[in-house]
A and B are shown apart, each in its own frame.
Chain A
Amino acid sequence: MFGWEFPPHVFGGLATANYGIAQGLHAQGDIETILCLPRPFGDEDRSACKIVGMNSVPIAWRDVNYDYVQQRIGNIMSPDDYYRYREHIYADFNYMHVNDLGCMEFAGGYPGNLHEEINNYSIIAGVVARTEQFDIIHAHDWLTYPAGIHAKQVSGRPLVIHVHATDFDRSRGNVNPTVYSIERNGMDHADCIMCVSELTRQTVINHYGQDPAKCFAMHNAVYPLAPELQEIVDKRLPYKDRKEKVVTFLGRITMQKGPEYFIEAAKRVLDRTNNVRFCFAGSGDMMNAMIEMAAAYGIADRCHFPGFMKGKQVFEIFRDSDVYVMPSVSEPFGISPLEAMQSGVPSIISKQSGCAEILDKCIKTDYWDIDAMADAMYSLCTNPALHEYLQVEGKKEVDGITWEKVGERIRRLYDQCLERY
């Protein structure tokens, strides 16, 4: 499996999905996963999969002794593996920027030279593919598609790619041609395409010209809350004791997430009541514009911008919220409403998000239907019965969406794929 990020070092939603899928597959019992990451930190959870650090796989021969290797990369993988990989170097890469171990460094995350890193990643993938024995290749998101294609060509095993987002979602149609070509190339070579929602599947079929027969919707899931997070969430005040209601938006404040619709709806709610507050948790290129917009509407005193939230902070926000809103214009999946519902916050989500396909106990509106959104916010803030119903039933529903079930479905697709291959 090729991935780019993995908890606890989270840059975006991809990390959690990778972790969940690894756990879900592990739960099947007879699947072993080797997960290749560009730059693991050594503190990842390795219970479900074997992690290969691409920054410690040699691509140029260096004569180094065991202790030195142990000292250098021991926290990431064992020196035995290093030597095993060293046996399978397939070309002379000395002209590249390799270090004293013959490995390439990765910055991790999403640096400026991303395209170069993607290329390096796929070079190393060739070494790994020649060394390891495997049945199927699973590549997550466009960053790892070249690596997946390379591994497929080396090993002749089927390639499954997992589309977590497409450039059409990120750019609202103004795609970056380089990114598009990488995505398109990956999809063309794939034997099976898993999309995080039907919405994404349609994009893949219509904008990337893929055969619908090899595209499948594979919705994400959530993990049950960790005890320490549950503890935070349990401190929520009962509805009737919360004199001021808090409506929360959580995510990057960018065009894709539709923050301006949230402000418009907030304006309509505040015209009517004054015991509601609106919270914008997140940062992004539209943040300043949003602050200005709130000020222009004269509701700045009721809108709060606490900035980017991570880890525990997210759940502290959920604990203090009464309504969670995700007005995304286009959302391949959107895992945060599931987390909100897990924390007992009723959610309003846009119909243009992938998670709307599997959620039922939440309110769905069109992202542009500001009136409907405002109405739903007002209703949740004033009708205890609706709030209670969605709180209780929403939690129940999300608790039924598990990675184990996703793992099972992925497993079935693997089987199908291998049968045909």
Chain B
Amino acid sequence: MKTICLYFEIHQNIHLKRYRFFEIGKDHYYFDDYENERGITETAERSYIPALRTFIEMAKTYGKEFKVAFSISGCALELLENYAPEVIELLQELNATGCVEFLAEPYSHGLSSLKNEDVFRDEVTRQAKKMKELFGKKPTVLRNSSLIYSDDIGDLVARMGYKGMIAEGAKHVLGWKSPHFLYHCNQNPNLKLLLRDYKLSDDISLRFNNSSWNEYPLFADTYMDWIAQLPEQEQIVNIFMELCALGIYQPLSSNILEFIKALPACAKQRGIVFATPSEIIARTKSVDQIDSPYPMSWNDEERDTSCWLGNVMQREAFEKLYSVAERVLICKDRRITHDWDCIQASNNFRFMTTKPMSVGMYRGIYDSPYDAFTNYMNILGDFINRVNALYPSEIENEELNALLTTIRNQGDEIEVKDKEISRLQSRLKKYEPEAEAEKPAKKAAEKPAKKAAEKPAKKAADKPAAKRTRKAAAKPEATPEPEA
């Protein structure tokens, strides 16, 4: 029984505004609000909303026979929350039908997996938490930004406890192997890999409306015939694309949604079923390991990271960005962490590419890669200054960590002691009313007894006070300790 795994990426870049170098240090707001609002509302209206409505309709018609998976980047989620909350509502409605799975991915849609393990972990955790909040289920399958995958990343993701990951079925990695099987990571067999069939995926996302394509016009039954005609053993067909493919890359006027709508019926006629990534992982055995010592992705003809890190400018920006990673992780300032997410997004690096493009390249507000680089470095310069202002750059990271740990430990200690104080004080209160109550009854006759009762109470009151002063004295002593 052949199984189709449909997956859609929802990601929109938070656009950076035109930021000149003389604004460094003066202006800490980096975003182009107008473009962000315009971009996301346009995408929502032309693509997300009609596409999600179609999926809901399909889920209602076919019930559990139709399955689909999504992943949403944190940046996109923020934009949707701000400007197009109806998309989230539609996603929740679709979620309620029970035929959807949401995947984990790095919050920023950035390249942290290639550079900094801690940042990657942090990002994924935050995004997964958000998925849990919105859709009630913690993701068990992960997809990295633009399907970047290498052996090391696989190992890291497995250690984070994910059961599966989706990746590109890149020819240079697969060789003679077919993407129509389940594979596993060569570092850790517990991490299963679903590989994208780029031919079948691109037929929809790139070529559907291309009238010079020899298969144009493409109909759902022809498409399903192709899948049905695959060799008997090849059971899994992974069709992954961006959700914008439906409506933006391929306009709605091309009837792409009608095509999608017809897929389940045509599949049923041919005995083909749909499943989500985790279902496939649960019920299928992996046939082999995948060796990918170098990172691969779903971008460009090369399917590697060259469109983000191909030239010296991109690498410079990338190194500079992650040079402050550890400090940003320590930092609890919400504005800094938010800006950090936005400037990490891979799109910012994509704008700086100097690769010759066969198709027209979208560069946002920039008219050349140099312009994109200049603007990004200005923003990054300001951002790094802000981080350094919080934690002076002369202090080594380790030292800083030690200091922060000391402060945190002291905080914990103070908390414990505060509890102790309040406990003792409440006990003291218990004693006092008793003493008061005894007073009128025993009056003058028991004067020495009263004095005796007062004494322990005084002692109890003195004790925490003494403690507190001792602590206050200890504090300044404790801080310089690690420096020495």
Chain A complexes with chain B: yes
Given the known interface contacts A379-B373, A379-B374, the answer about A389 and B20 at a Cβ–Cβ threshold of 8 Å is no
Residues of B with C-beta under 8 A to A150 = none
Tell me if B371 counts as interface (CB < 8 A to partner A): yes
The answer to whether B21 touches A384, judged by C-beta atoms less than 8 angstroms apart, is: no
Is there an interface contact between B312 and A379, defined as CB atoms closer than 8 Å? no
Instruction: Kindly list 11 other residue pairs between chains A and B, CB separation below 8 angstroms, not including A363-B374, A385-B316, A386-B377.
Output: A271-B22, A372-B371, A374-B20, A374-B22, A375-B374, A379-B21, A386-B313, A386-B374, A388-B312, A389-B311, A393-B354
Count of B interface residues, CB-CB < 8 Å: 20
Q: Cβ of B378 < 8 Å from any Cβ of A? A: yes
CB neighbours of A84 from chain B (8 A): none
B21 and A389 contact, CB distance less than 8 A: no
A372 to B21, CA, bound (A): 10
Convert A393-421 into 0s and 1s, putting 1 for each residue whose CB lies closer than 8 angstroms to a CB of B.
Answer: 10000000000000000000000000000
**A47 contacts B by Cβ under 8 Å:** no
A364 on interface, CB distance cutoff 8 Å? yes
Q: Is the CB of B313 within 8 A of A385?
A: yes
Interface residue? A190 (CB, 8 A): no
B307-349: which have CB < 8 Å to A? Answer: 311-313, 315-317
The 4 A-B pairs of least Cβ separation, nearest first, read A385-B316, A379-B374, A378-B21, A385-B312
The answer to whether B370 touches A386, judged by C-beta atoms less than 8 angstroms apart, is yes
Is B368 part of the contact surface with A, judged by Cβ < 8 Å? yes
Does B367 have its Cβ within 8 Å of any Cβ on chain A? yes
Is A133 part of the contact surface with B, judged by Cβ < 8 Å?
no
Q: With A and B bound together, what is the CA distance between A385 and B349 in angstroms?
A: 14
Q: How far is the CA of A390 from the CA of B368 in the complex (A)?
A: 12
Give every chain A residue within 8 A of B367 (Cβ-Cβ): 364
Cα–Cα distance between A382 and B311 once the two chains are bound (Å): 18
Task: Select B373's contact among A268, A272, A372, A383, beta carbons within 8 Å.
Answer: A383
- What are 12 contact pairs spanning A and B, CB under 8 A? A272-B24, A363-B368, A363-B370, A363-B371, A374-B22, A376-B371, A378-B21, A383-B374, A385-B373, A389-B311, A389-B312, A389-B354
A271 surroundings in chain B (CB, below 8 A): 22
Tell me which residues from 7 to 29 in chain B have a Cβ below 8 Å from any Cβ of chain A.
Answer: 20-22, 24
Chain B interface residues toward A at CB < 8 A: 20-22, 24, 311-313, 315-317, 354, 367-368, 370-371, 373-375, 377-378
Chain A 250-273 interface mask (CB, 8 Å, partner B; 1/0): 000000000000000000100110
Q: Let me know if A371 is at the binding interface, CB within 8 A.
A: yes
Is B316 within 8 A of A376, CB to CB? no
Q: A376 near B20 (CB under 8 angstroms)?
A: no
* Residue from the list A272, A376, A388 in contact with B374, Cβ < 8 A: A376
| Residue of B with least CB distance to A346 | B370
Taking Cβ atoms with an 8 Å cutoff, the residues of A that contact B are: 268, 271-272, 363-364, 371-372, 374-376, 378-379, 382-386, 388-390, 393
Cα separation A371 to B378 with both chains bound (whole Å): 13
CA distance A378 to B378 in the complex (A): 10
Residues of the A chain whose Cβ atoms lie less than 8 Å from the Cβ of B375:
375
Q: How far is the CB of A357 from chain B (nearest CB, A)?
A: 14
Of the candidates B21, B312, B313, B317, the one whose C-beta lies within 8 Å of that of A375 is: B21
Contact between chains at A385 and B371 (CB < 8 Å)? no
Q: With A364-B367, A385-B315 in contact, is A379–B377 under 8 Å at CB? A: yes
> Knowing A374-B21, A375-B21, A379-B374 touch, does A364 contact B312 (C-beta < 8 A)?
no
Q: Closest residue to A388 on the B side, CB-wise? A: B312
> Which B residues are in CB contact (< 8 Å) with A389?
311-313, 354
CA A390 – CA B354 in complex, angstroms? 11
Measured CB to CB, the closest approach of chain B to A299, in angstroms, equals 14
Give A230 Cβ to nearest chain B Cβ, in Å.
24
Task: Report Cα–Cα, A385/B24, bound state, in Å.
Answer: 19
Asked if B370 and A390 make an inter-chain contact with CB atoms under 8 angstroms apart, the answer reads yes
Give the residue name and chain of the B residue nearest to A377 (CB). Answer: B21
Shortest Cβ gap from A231 to chain B (Å): 27
A residues in contact with B313, CB < 8 Å? 383, 385-386, 389
B354 cross-chain contacts in A, Cβ below 8 A: 389, 393
Q: How far is the CA of A132 from the CA of B375 in the complex (A)?
A: 60
Set of chain B residues within 8 Å of A384, measured between Cβ atoms = 316
Instruction: Name the B residues within 8 Å of A374 (CB-CB).
Output: 20-22
Specify which of A268, A372, A385, A393 is in contact with B22 (CB 8 Å cutoff). A268
- Residue from B21, B367, B373, B378 with most neighbouring chain A CB atoms (10 Å): B21
A272 nearest CB across to chain B (Å): 6
A414 to B317, CA, bound (A): 49
CA distance A87 to B317 in the complex (A): 73
